[in-house]
Amino acid sequence: MTDNVQSIERGHGFGALAQERNKVLRNTYWLLALSLIPTVLGAWLGVATGITQSLGGGMGLVLFLGGAFGFIYAIEKTKNSAAGVPVLLAFTFFMGLMLSRMIAMVLGFKNGPDLIMTAFGGTAGVFFVMASLSSVIKRDLSGMGKWLFVGALAIIVGGIINVFVGSTAGMMAISVAAIGVFSAFMLYDLKRIVDGGETNYISATLALYLDIVNVFQSLLALLGIFGGERD
């Protein structure tokens, strides 16, 4: 009798844990979808006004890094309060503004809109594949974290150097590496939610959003280099 009661209690415990994980995943997906709206608005505003066109070189880099890390710090500080979601959405608007410079450059090509839609579709495809894999892979992927962090750090350093060097070949190499690293990061972050390693949906959304933005802009850079058609 006691064993049966304990089995029932364990079953309820596992059920509650699974429900909590599903709730975090569901809320993350909803907030991730919502975060795309300020991103699009920010990108549209940046392209329409040209406000970011002068932010090239070192000045643009300092503004981007300062703003991005400042927002990320603020999001982590407010993730357990009512201010967490508005701060995250403000960050996604900022990221849209920062993306607008590259988007405006791609729109300068004759086939610019097609390239942007292709990059968007490719990013959505990567996300779908990684989300599917995260639900079927049983292996613990937590060990990937430190290697992915090192890879992301190398990409950031390489990107900073290339801002001053201005090498097209360097941009291509960095973009290819970023697609690989942040696609893997996408799988890693999704698997953490599925396995219960991430219980805060705001932090989960931030991680996935950064993965998606990096894959999108890297795809867009490669498409612009290889597929851009000038008038």
Rounded to an integer, the average pLDDT of 77-106 is 93
Q: Is 50 exposed, middle or buried (0-12, 13-18, 19+ CB in 10 A)?
A: exposed
Angular region, 50: left φ>0, alpha ψ -120 to 50, beta rest: left
Instruction: Identify the band that residue 176 occupies on the pLDDT scale cut at 50, 70 and 90.
Output: very high
At residue 13, the pLDDT reads 52
Token pair listed for 96: 């849209």
Tokens 């290889």 found at: 226
Higher pLDDT, 56 or 107: 107
Summarize pLDDT for 17-65 with one digit per residue, the tens.
Answer: 778 888 888 999 999 999 999 999 999 999 998 887 777 666 777 888 8
Number of domains in the chain: 1
At residue 56, the pLDDT reads 66
Least confident stretch, 9-23, 76-90, 113-127: 9-23
State the residue range of the domain holding 67.
2-227
Q: Say if residue 3's pLDDT is above 70.
A: no
Instruction: Identify the band that residue 4 occupies on the pLDDT scale cut at 50, 70 and 90.
Output: low
46 three-state secondary structure: helix
Tell me what percent of the residues of the chain surpass a pLDDT of 90. 58
At residue 8, the pLDDT reads 44
Contacts of 189 (CB under 8 A, 6+ apart): 198, 204, 207, 208, 211
At residue 5, the pLDDT reads 44
Rounded to an integer, the average pLDDT of 112-138 is 93
